[in-house]
Amino acid sequence: MLKRTSLLMSVAAALLASGLPQSAQANDWKQYSAGGCAPYTTGTPNYDELRFRSDGVQNQANGYRYVICPVVRDADNTWGFNGADTGSVMLSFRTNTAGTFQCTLTGGATVGGSYSTTKSVSGNPGDNLYINFTNVDLWAEGLSDAPVSLVCRLPPKGTLAKYHVAENGVTDDPHP
């Protein structure tokens, strides 16, 4: 037992001490639980209407409710800055009643302008549904260093389970 503990401590110390810079990566894919999203409303959020769990967020209300979700980017430049260096966001939903999910992907900020695009998908009880925003090119929209977010409208009893973010291009490139 002592040898194993000593070996583990040696490996951990070596990893911490290495401090080597990470090399840039091409094409990055991340998955997020929609449990990390937040209510999106002009009033005070009613957390009794949205159930947040690690496996997603479900609308518990009888009407449509909105959530906002971060899209974490680690691309060195704005999506689209270098030709094919685009981004994509894929969302997964589950229906418990018939309804329509609608999401808006927004890039940019109130300073410097913004771009948004909206997609929707409808289904019946028990359906697994998907919305894909593919090859998003924010640079072509005149945006530089654009943060990205999602706002989704969930039908009654509908669940946003997860979303994936894919970056096609150089990521994790350390700045000087």
Q: Tell me which amino acid residue 159 is.
A: T
- The per-residue pLDDT for 89 is 94
Structural domain contains residue 56? yes
Domain containing 29: what range? 25-171
What's the rounded Cα separation, in Å, for the pair 56 and 34?
A: 4
Tally Cβ neighbours within 10 Å of residue 65: 23
The pTM for the full model equals 0.80
Structural domain contains residue 163? yes
Structural domain contains residue 41? yes
The number of residues in the chain equals: 176
- The per-residue pLDDT for 171 is 63
- The per-residue pLDDT for 170 is 66
CATH number for the domain spanning 109: value is 2.60.120.260
- pLDDT tens series, the chain, 176 aa: 444 434 334 434 443 344 444 445 556 788 999 999 999 998 888 888 999 998 999 999 999 999 999 998 776 677 888 777 888 999 999 999 999 999 999 998 888 889 999 999 999 999 999 999 999 998 888 887 788 999 999 999 999 999 999 988 766 665 54
Q: At CA 129, angle to CA 128 and CA 133, rounded to 5?
A: 145
- The per-residue pLDDT for 104 is 98
Structural domain contains residue 176? no
Structural domain contains residue 18? no
Structural domain contains residue 100? yes
Residue located via tokens 């000087």: 176
- The per-residue pLDDT for 9 is 41
Structural domain contains residue 80? yes
Residue located via tokens 């669940």: 159
Contact 101, 56 (CB under 8 A): no
Going from the C-alpha of 112 to that of each of 54, 82, 109, 142, the distances in angstroms are 34, 20, 6, 9
- The per-residue pLDDT for 145 is 77
Structural domain contains residue 98? yes
Q: How many domains does the chain have?
A: 1
